[in-house]
Structure 1
Amino acid sequence: MDMHDWPHIKKSDRRKKRLVKKDFDKKLIRLIKQRKVLKIQKRNLPPVILDKPYQRGWVRYFVLRSDIARSEKAQFYNNLLAKINTYWRHYDKSFKRRKIRRGAYENCDASLHKLNELWPTDFHGDKLNLTDAEKDCFYLKETWNDRYDRWESKYVFAEAWRYVLVIKPYMVYAEKQADGLLEQELAQIEDQLTWNCLFPRVRKIKRSVYKYWKPEDEDVRYTNYLKNKPRYTSKEAYLDH
């Protein structure tokens, strides 16, 4: 016999509410785990090779310049380009800007199309696996980010003139395989979470509440020297500052 079924033990109203809420959170956690599994299954579906490839717009990217391609270091710069190349897609071959929302236009100018600038973690990490000779082709550049109000450091390729932009048709040779039953199950879970406004509760359960970004170097004018210090040192700290 379960302890909760004993006649002499009575549950308070507060405990009943807590048990109902705990049971609801457990069901919500199982639903989130099922949603994650379905997304992984959808992402791992094998592609289907098309019998007749078709064109879907245009793509612009960098290639090695013709005179550099005939030089002795052509293979070296080709290997480096594969790590820092950037691809821009557009429905029009001219890459003219189009209106994306009221009062705002996308800018597809070729002068803004640049090689990928590497973060220090990517430059020194194992993701790109840059050699020492390839690292010597970069220089450190510091720029001010107005959005986050901070300085950012990136590694920029110093010899961008070795590459030129080309525009080619963007051809589609394969498509992701579709699973109707998988899509239906995933859509039901998404509708249940969306229409019932359960995503805030999910973030709270997973302890992933978003916090505002805080700069590493705090402004000296707003530094509190008495923060996290014992009371007997407060007077000395106040007099020193």
Structure 2
Amino acid sequence: MDTKLIRQYGEDILCYRHRAARKKKRMQYEDFDKQLIHLHKEERQLSKQKRNLGWEALTPPIQRGWKRFFVLREDVARSKHKVFFENILQKINTYDFSWRKDFKQKKRIRGRKIYVVKPQSLLKLSELDLVKLEFNELEKQFFYEAWETDCRGLFVKRFVFKEPWRFVLRVKPNMVDKVRKRDNLIEARLQEIDDYLSKNRFTGRLNKILHGSDGNSWLKFYEKEKEKYRFKNKSLNQILNLINEQQWNSGNGEN
């Protein structure tokens, strides 16, 4: 409360809870933030209820496209090491889905659109994956270390299977025999909350309340990390070309 009011009317005015305009404005922001937090909690609770509705059988089952995955090659399946490589395959197998049985997709090559087979590879593991999937020392010997760039442009270490020829791809119909149960009231309320947050652009404010950031600070962090590894695994000529290009760009910017 303003001290001028206390000097003018005395300390008795404190019992009237008179608030300054600045404090009123701050209380409005705090009340709005509490409403956003309440909506976030309601959304999490409804999402949990939606996930726990369970499944119901679909009779008769229907086919939705095709699925492709790795299996043991015939000679490996007949060998005495069948169980060993089956255990490895269960941990690094990947599944892909397509509406086409041949798994072809459009690709533009020299201005022409052609159909090429969609590539698929075994799972490349991180150090944490080796621990989570409980690889023993013998299984680890079938992997080698490789450095590659991830989706953020950062160099990361991966463990790649040494003998991928032991596995072959197999295509099967993707049969669906069960579907999730649905609750129209839950889905309508979730859609209402999502529309309110997205259309009014309150998502950034909610992220800042919950995580201390509006979601854009991670871009600055990854830009710094990307700059740190910019010259990694590059030859001297490539490094000099990058430096010259950076100097040329900065010079043009100054002009």
Aligned partners of 1:147 and 1:196: how far apart in 2? 30
The residue that corresponds to 2:15 in the other structure is 6
1:106: how far off? 11
- Alpha carbons 2:63, 2:174 under 8 Å: kept: yes
The residue that corresponds to 1:130 in the other structure is 135
Aligned partners of 1:179 and 1:37: how far apart in 2? 14
Q: Does 1:215 align with 2:225?
A: yes
- Once the two structures are superposed, residues 114-149 of structure 1 have per-residue CA deviations (whole angstroms, 9 ceiling, x without a partner) of 1000112212x22x1222221111111122x28644
SS, match of residue 31 in structure 1: helix
The residue that corresponds to 1:179 in the other structure is 183
The residue that corresponds to 1:74 in the other structure is 82
Structure 1 residue runs without a partner (length 5+): 222-241
The share of aligned pairs that are identical, in percent, is: 38
| 1:1-241 map, 5 Å | 6-7=15-16, 9-98=17-106, 109=117, 112-123=119-130, 125-126=131-132, 128-143=133-148, 145=149, 148-206=152-210, 207-210=212-215, 211=217, 212=219, 213=222, 214-215=224-225, 218=228
1:108: how far off? 6.4
1:204: how far off? 1.3
- What TM-score results when the alignment is normalised by the length of structure 1? 0.78
Aligned partners of 1:119 and 1:64: how far apart in 2? 23
Higher helix fraction (1 or 2): 2
Provide the aligned C-alpha RMSD in A.
Answer: 2.8
Count of residues in Structure 1 that have an aligned counterpart in Structure 2: 210
Letter in 1 for 2:15: W
Aligned partners of 1:114 and 1:200: how far apart in 2? 37
- What TM-score results when the alignment is normalised by the length of structure 2? 0.74
Aligned partners of 1:171 and 1:216: how far apart in 2? 43
Aligned partners of 1:184 and 1:220: how far apart in 2? 47
1:85: how far off? 0.5
